[in-house]
A and B are shown apart, each in its own frame.
Chain A
Amino acid sequence: MFSSLCFSAIRAALLIQRWYRQYVARLEMRRRCTWNIFQSIEYAGEQDQIKLYNFFAFLMDHFTPANWLSYFLLTVPDSYSGPHLTFPMTFCGLSKLMEAFKHKQQLHARYVLQILGETWRFLRILPNINHVSVCPTKEITICGDLHGQLEDLLLIFYKNGLPSCEKPYIFNGDFVDRGKNSLEILLILFGFLLVYPNDVHLNRGNHEDHIVNLRYGFTKEVLVKYRVHGRKILKLLQKIFSWLPLATLINDKVLVVHGGISDSTDLEAVTRIDRHRYVSVLRPPKMIRHMLNGNKAVISGNEDATGPAEGRRRVRSLTNTSNSAQRNKMPRRSLHNLPTTGNQLNCSVEDELRKRRRLAGFDQTYNEIKTSDSDSDPEFGESTETHGQEWKQVVDLLWSDPQPQNGCIPNEVRGGGCYWGPDVTEEVLGRHNLQLLIRSHECKQDGYEFCHNRRVLTIFSASNYYEVGSNRGAYIRMGPDLVPHCIQYQASSTCRELTLRQRCTRSALRALRQQLFVHKSDLIGAFQEFDPNHTGRISLHHWATATEKVLNLGLPWRVLRPQLVNRAQYGMLNYQQWIRELSITEPKPEVIMETMYKQHSNLETIFRIIDTDHSGLISFEEFRQTWKLLSSHLKMEISDKAIADLAQSMDFNKDGSIDINEFMEAFRLVDLSTHKATNNLDGGRDQWLDG
């Protein structure tokens, strides 16, 4: 018995040691390969690096679901004096942003695109109807139309507090148009959405619609503020608007939606809709379109006719059918019917790319590209019964208005949605087991108004909407009893301007926060002395004592406390959280590197496109073919030998093919070396060698 145990122990030890040593060796091999590729690219000569970089940039631009990713090609010049943001967004970044906007600074296009890109990615995973719970410790705040009036938003924040985990908000649509700071409002709201995703909820309004924006000023605002990148920003906003949730339900009892309801409103049906197909709610949903004659495409009025050429090319190549049963009614166009005149090379490249995308099983997402870039075409679309009904659901939610009399009639004044009466309210609320409908969409003199037996509450947050003094704005506070409390305000020039003294205090406070952050480990140590049971919380009294002990500045901490600590429940502070929120991050040169890593899923997509036989590996041959295909686009003469060299330099384990890890490693390294000037190279190397 004893001897067999001993034998087992030796055998077990040997096995584990062998196994672990193999792990270590393989890791070492990979590091060594990575190092080699880095060196070979570094010494491969400027030309090769640029080519590889351009190749990837082109791929990113044209294959990934959104060409917003090209933001990484934008560098922020030294002359830029606006705020610098780092991602993921932090509360600190938000503060910087709001501060900058208060001082009428403009955010660099790169950061705009980055925020929008992150927002788009986030919104896509949200359901059509947000579900929110209000509990005894957190009341929720609901804001109505803001219409580009930044001072109103800031006033709400000033009066009510900023959105946070303890202070959830719902913004009920119409953030843009008419006012002159629509974009700033969007960026702030999106920023808060990214930092507090569980506590900030946005509903789509009828003005979150590029057709409406053309008429009511938002499009113009963006194009004027961003002359070079405005179109790209608008294109991305289109996608974002289409992905905004349509409504929010509080405790399954209170429905918050921008416009309202109709007698056919069915929330079950609403949850099943593909909401992003409604780029503009005013037009029927996008359908798959025929490609008529090679390059010719059907372009409806919904399209931004002045879009970039590449975008237009993509719009034209539409022969895919999606897997969804509804859409499979279109005959498939043969890919071999290529036009023989004109841009033959471009066309075959385009077709090749399309074919590869399809083969990559990329249909679903490609449809998204198409459908979000292209526009509906009533002539050629098949409007089935289902589509019409679905569309009506969405329009009604965003465009309807209540009327005093019973019944439900089309809203001809607006041109969309319904006028619905108190009987409809009762019926719909009853059917869904709801007790209150909160909506916006209409300006009210007092900022809010009840109707339909206090079962419908309109909330409007843009004060002085028509002119100075025309109306107040209001917002709603609601606790778990689900009783709405309306708070009114009116923005005026006096309350917006900060006094000189206030501004000085704010700078001093900022410096103080920095000091606190610098001493954070000492502070935590001191706090923990008051927290022997490791609850994570200390009293504010202890906070003051500990902070003075560490910083030794002789400051009246109790007096300053409200400026430094904005969330203490029942006199107790969660100090770890507080320290975290003090954190000040400086933009790192490795921002681009990190961005690359975050593009992991997109790079995977590119990889899959190139990997036409789905082997998980790109062969040199595939690489070469793809490269040839694209070099015509890039207008580069590149010899087969050069392609082979490039491919070889990307093949880490020298087994004749490039696997996805190598692919992404190469991407990251190219970016590293191309941005050599801004990177601390040695620091960068050590980082990933250890890692």
Chain B
Amino acid sequence: KLISVVSESVSAVEQKITAAFKVFDYDSSNKVDVREIGTIIYSLGCCPTQADIHKFIAEVEEEHSGVVFLEKFLPAMTKVLLENKFPPIPKSTILQAFKVKLDQKGYLKPEELKKLLMEEGEPFTQQEIEEMLAHTDREDNLIYYPKLINKLTSDLTQ
């Protein structure tokens, strides 16, 4: 496991985590619905699998109550960030991922993508695949994934 060189201090990291947490803490009671944990983790720059998220939740959730308290979330998440446990995926890797099953064409048909993402890995729901396909301009019914990658990354310039 790589320990990444963290340029921020621990307290800065904790501040960031607390802030992200508080976004979903609607009544300022220092707790959030467990279903928001995934979103919070992603928003802090991490890119875990669903399995990773479930494992994390298991460690921090309050006894199947459906909530997570900040006092448990904070140390666990700080560790994740300092250890860079779920590093973000570089664009080049994603590009490779799109290319791997197909013959490097630069585009693929929606059915191909659908098959891949709904049958393998941690399958997409119908809603997820439809949303993703909605991002592509499908005039010729082909998905130009380099374009798609660019679009989704630039949508979030922060």
- Judged by a CB distance under 8 angstroms, whether A322 is at the interface is no
Assembled-state Cα–Cα distance A448/B156 (Å): 60
Question: Chain B, 59-70, contact with A by CB distance < 8 Å: what is the 0/1 string?
Answer: 000000000000
Q: Is the CB of B42 within 8 A of A22?
A: yes
Assembled-state Cα–Cα distance A655/B12 (Å): 9
Q: Is the CB of A25 within 8 A of B15?
A: no
Q: Is the CB of A22 within 8 A of B155?
A: no
Closest partner residue, chain A, to B157 (CB atom): A661
Interface residue from B16, B43, B153 paired with A29 (Cβ < 8 Å): B43
Residues in A whose Cβ lies below 8 Å from that of B15: 654-656
Interface residue from B48, B88, B156 paired with A27 (Cβ < 8 Å): B156
Assembled-state Cα–Cα distance A17/B22 (Å): 26
Q: Is the CB of A653 within 8 A of B122?
A: no
Interface residue from A16, A21, A654, A661 paired with B158 (Cβ < 8 Å): A661
Pick the interface stretch among A7-15, A110-118, A284-292, A350-358.
A7-15
Give the dominant DSSP class at B's interface.
helix
Q: Is the CB of A19 within 8 A of B89?
A: yes
> A265 CB to closest chain B CB, in angstroms?
48
- Judged by a CB distance under 8 angstroms, whether B39 is at the interface is yes
Assembled-state Cα–Cα distance A16/B50 (Å): 12
Closest partner residue, chain B, to A6 (CB atom): B120
- Judged by a CB distance under 8 angstroms, whether A578 is at the interface is no
Max chain A Cβ within 10 angstroms of own Cβ: one of B23, B50, B155: B23
Q: Is the CB of A18 within 8 A of B23?
A: no
Assembled-state Cα–Cα distance A28/B128 (Å): 14
> A616 CB to closest chain B CB, in angstroms?
10
Residues in B whose Cβ lies below 8 Å from that of A8: 100-101
Question: Chain B, 37-54, contact with A by CB distance < 8 Å: what is the 0/1 string?
Answer: 011111100111110000
With A11-B97, A14-B121 in contact, do A25 and B43 touch (Cβ < 8 Å)? yes
Residues in A whose Cβ lies below 8 Å from that of B156: 23, 26-27, 30
Residues in B whose Cβ lies below 8 Å from that of A653: 19-20, 23, 43, 158
Q: Is the CB of A26 within 8 A of B23?
A: no
- Judged by a CB distance under 8 angstroms, whether A214 is at the interface is no
Residues in A whose Cβ lies below 8 Å from that of B101: 5, 8-9, 12
Interface residue from B100, B131, B152, B153 paired with A11 (Cβ < 8 Å): B100
**How many B residues have CB within 8 A of the partner chain?**
45
> A61 CB to closest chain B CB, in angstroms?
28
With A18-B48, A25-B42, A655-B15 in contact, do A32 and B97 touch (Cβ < 8 Å)? no
With A22-B88, A23-B155, A24-B131 in contact, do A13 and B117 touch (Cβ < 8 Å)? yes
Q: Is the CB of B39 within 8 A of A25?
A: yes
Q: Is the CB of B24 within 8 A of A32?
A: yes
Closest partner residue, chain B, to A654 (CB atom): B19
> A12 CB to closest chain B CB, in angstroms?
4
Closest partner residue, chain B, to A14 (CB atom): B121
> A517 CB to closest chain B CB, in angstroms?
27
Give the dominant DSSP class at A's interface.
helix
Closest partner residue, chain B, to A21 (CB atom): B42
How many pairs of A and B residues are in contact by the CB < 8 Å rule? 116
Assembled-state Cα–Cα distance A15/B101 (Å): 13
Q: Is the CB of B20 within 8 A of A28?
A: no
Residues in B whose Cβ lies below 8 Å from that of A19: 47, 89, 94, 97
Which residues, 12 to 44 on B, are CB-close (under 8 Å) to A? 15-16, 18-20, 22-24, 38-43
Which residues, 30 to 44 on A, are CB-close (under 8 Å) to B? 30, 32-33, 36
Q: Is the CB of B23 within 8 A of A654?
A: yes
- Judged by a CB distance under 8 angstroms, whether B107 is at the interface is no
Q: Is the CB of A25 within 8 A of B23?
A: no
Residues in A whose Cβ lies below 8 Å from that of B23: 29, 32-33, 36, 653-654
- Judged by a CB distance under 8 angstroms, whether A380 is at the interface is no
- Judged by a CB distance under 8 angstroms, whether B124 is at the interface is yes
**How many A residues have CB within 8 A of the partner chain?**
33
Closest partner residue, chain A, to B121 (CB atom): A13
Interface residue from A15, A27, A30 paired with B94 (Cβ < 8 Å): A15
Which residues, 102 to 158 on B, are CB-close (under 8 Å) to A? 116-117, 119-124, 128, 131-132, 152-153, 155-158
Assembled-state Cα–Cα distance A11/B152 (Å): 20
> A7 CB to closest chain B CB, in angstroms?
10
- Judged by a CB distance under 8 angstroms, whether B98 is at the interface is yes
Max chain B Cβ within 10 angstroms of own Cβ: one of A20, A32, A655: A20
Assembled-state Cα–Cα distance A16/B18 (Å): 28
Q: Is the CB of A17 within 8 A of B158?
A: no
- Judged by a CB distance under 8 angstroms, whether A139 is at the interface is no
Q: Is the CB of A29 within 8 A of B124?
A: no
Q: Is the CB of A16 within 8 A of B20?
A: no
- Judged by a CB distance under 8 angstroms, whether B93 is at the interface is yes
Residues in B whose Cβ lies below 8 Å from that of A23: 152-153, 155-156
Interface residue from B16, B49, B98, B132 paired with A14 (Cβ < 8 Å): B49
Q: Is the CB of A655 within 8 A of B16?
A: yes
- Judged by a CB distance under 8 angstroms, whether A152 is at the interface is no
Assembled-state Cα–Cα distance A452/B121 (Å): 82
Residues in B whose Cβ lies below 8 Å from that of A33: 23
Assembled-state Cα–Cα distance A32/B49 (Å): 22
Residues in A whose Cβ lies below 8 Å from that of B16: 655
Q: Is the CB of B89 within 8 A of A12?
A: no
Question: Chain A, 489-521, contact with B by CB distance < 8 Å: what is the 0/1 string?
Answer: 000000000000000000000000000000000
Q: Is the CB of A16 within 8 A of B97?
A: yes
Closest partner residue, chain B, to A29 (CB atom): B43
Assembled-state Cα–Cα distance A22/B91 (Å): 13
Max chain A Cβ within 10 angstroms of own Cβ: one of B16, B46, B100, B122: B100
> A317 CB to closest chain B CB, in angstroms?
34
- Judged by a CB distance under 8 angstroms, whether A659 is at the interface is yes
Residues in A whose Cβ lies below 8 Å from that of B24: 32
> A391 CB to closest chain B CB, in angstroms?
45
> B110 CB to closest chain A CB, in angstroms?
14
Residues in B whose Cβ lies below 8 Å from that of A655: 15-16, 19
Assembled-state Cα–Cα distance A25/B53 (Å): 13
Residues in B whose Cβ lies below 8 Å from that of A11: 97, 100, 121
Assembled-state Cα–Cα distance A14/B121 (Å): 5
Q: Is the CB of A10 within 8 A of B43?
A: no
Assembled-state Cα–Cα distance A20/B18 (Å): 24
Interface residue from A12, A22, A25, A654 paired with B98 (Cβ < 8 Å): A12
Max chain A Cβ within 10 angstroms of own Cβ: one of B16, B24, B128, B156: B156
Residues in B whose Cβ lies below 8 Å from that of A18: 47-49, 89
Question: Chain A, 35-69, contact with B by CB distance < 8 Å: what is the 0/1 string?
Answer: 01000000000000000000000000000000000
Closest partner residue, chain B, to A35 (CB atom): B23
Interface residue from A5, A9, A13, A29 paired with B39 (Cβ < 8 Å): A29
28 interchain pairs (CB within 8 A)? A5-B101, A9-B100, A9-B101, A12-B96, A12-B116, A13-B120, A14-B122, A15-B94, A16-B94, A18-B47, A18-B48, A19-B94, A22-B46, A22-B47, A22-B88, A23-B156, A25-B38, A25-B41, A28-B39, A29-B39, A32-B23, A653-B23, A653-B158, A654-B15, A654-B18, A654-B20, A654-B23, A655-B16
Given contact pairs A12-B121, A13-B120, A15-B97, a sample of 7 additional A-B residue pairs in the complex whose CB atoms are under 8 Å apart: A9-B120, A11-B121, A16-B97, A18-B48, A19-B89, A21-B42, A654-B18
Which 3 pairs across A and B sit closest by C-beta, in order of nearness? Answer: A654-B19, A13-B121, A25-B42
